[in-house]
Amino acid sequence: MLIGSPKEIKNHEYRVGLTPESAKELVMQGNDVWIETGAGRGIDATDEQYVAAGAKIVDGPDAIFAECEMVVKVKEPQAVERKKLREGQILYTYLHLAPDPEQTKDLVESGVTAIAYETVTGPRGQLPLLKPMSQVAGRMSVQAGATALEKAHGGRGVLLGGVPGVMPGKVVVIGGGVVGFNAAQMAVGLGADVTILDRDPEVLEKVGTHFEARASTRFSNAANLYDAVTTADLVVGAVLIPGAAAPKLVTREMLKDMQKGAVLVDVAIDQGGCFETSRATTHAEPTYVVDDIVHYCVANMPGAVARTSTYALNNVTLPHALRIARMGWKGALAADPHLAEGLNVHKGEITYRAVASELGYDYRPVAELLD
């Protein structure tokens, strides 16, 4: 198969779809790999390293979109990239379609076969291609929140870990999944006063057992959520409904009762955000203020630590890429029902139920395409 990886063009996105090591693995299986010149610069991977791995360097993205059978990216294709997609081509990347009707419309009209990292499942229902970026984003959320809390950045001027004789900052993590667990780890490590909210008793038991007295757990109902959020210095939104838009758990009304200069970090922004006042921001302008509350809603947080993120992502995406290249998309999906969960769009049809439901499209089950 002819496989291409263009340079990412989203604001301050430094990751790349294929590392030189991944390119070499694909080449060793008999595939041809094209890399856009400079695509690996953000992870300190040179064109020469890709050439040494057996890949071909091409100028600009046009040849990749025009000729490659599979395009491997990190972030969702931007509008200018979507115009280049075509029927019969495989797009393998993060998509996050539910809160993005414009992207969905363009992918449907292109006829492309789009496989989304974030909806590929594992044998126990987990999301293995989303997990490493969730780990990165969870850990970064507390770093970003701690910075936003500084007075010079509009925050309350609170040090999360406190100092002897001064109370630590209060961190509330909404959601005890992968993002929430990693956020809590970082906040606990800084010495903050940490509370984790979730609606699943098993999740609460798991995080409670792990953190013991270093973090508190609370069942997430309206009363407990309000009480926790309105007394917090930093709130991390870590809620995920696979493939669907995130629920709006913190309302604008609640902001009026929060402490002035408190910070909201919305890690769910890729899926529309879990705060009513959330809107996607970039690394260039990461924060904004609503009702005296600082919002950090960067949609590609892991892009800031591109090298760590790219290698972590390739560890989990490469095995599926190798299988798709070897068997074709239909053979690979038929052989692996977990990978089949990643198919979101094919030849103008929506093949992921949550996206179809959220955006009002007819749903075409993947199984019908594989028969």
DSSP letters for 178-240: HHHHHHHHHHHHHT-EEEEEES-HHHHHHHHHHHGGGEEEEE--HHHHHHHHHT-SEEEE---
Backbone phi, psi, residue 166, to 5°: -130, 130
On whether the CB atoms of residues 114 and 336 are closer than 8 A, the answer is no
CA distance 306 to 136: 10
**Of residues 8, 238, 248, 270, the one with CA closest to residue 119:** 270
How far apart CA 343 and CA 87 sit, in angstroms, is 15
Distance, CA of 370 to CA of 334 (rounded, Å): 6
Which position among 270, 295, 336, 346 bears the catalytic label? 270
Catalytic residue among 96, 295, 320, 346: 96
Q: Which amino acid is at 301?
A: M
CA 161 → CA 156, 190, 192, 337, distances in Å?
14, 5, 5, 45
Nearest to 210 by CA among 233, 194, 234, 199: 194
User: Is 270 known to be catalytic?
Assistant: yes
Pairing relation of β-strands 349-350 and 343-346?
antiparallel
Q: Cβ distance 275 to 295 under 8 Å?
A: yes
Tokens 């960067």 identify what position? 298
Q: What is the token pair recorded at 89?
A: 């081509």
> 267 is written with which tokens?
């890690």
**Residue 346 appears among annotated catalytic residues:** no
Residues noted as catalytic: 96, 270
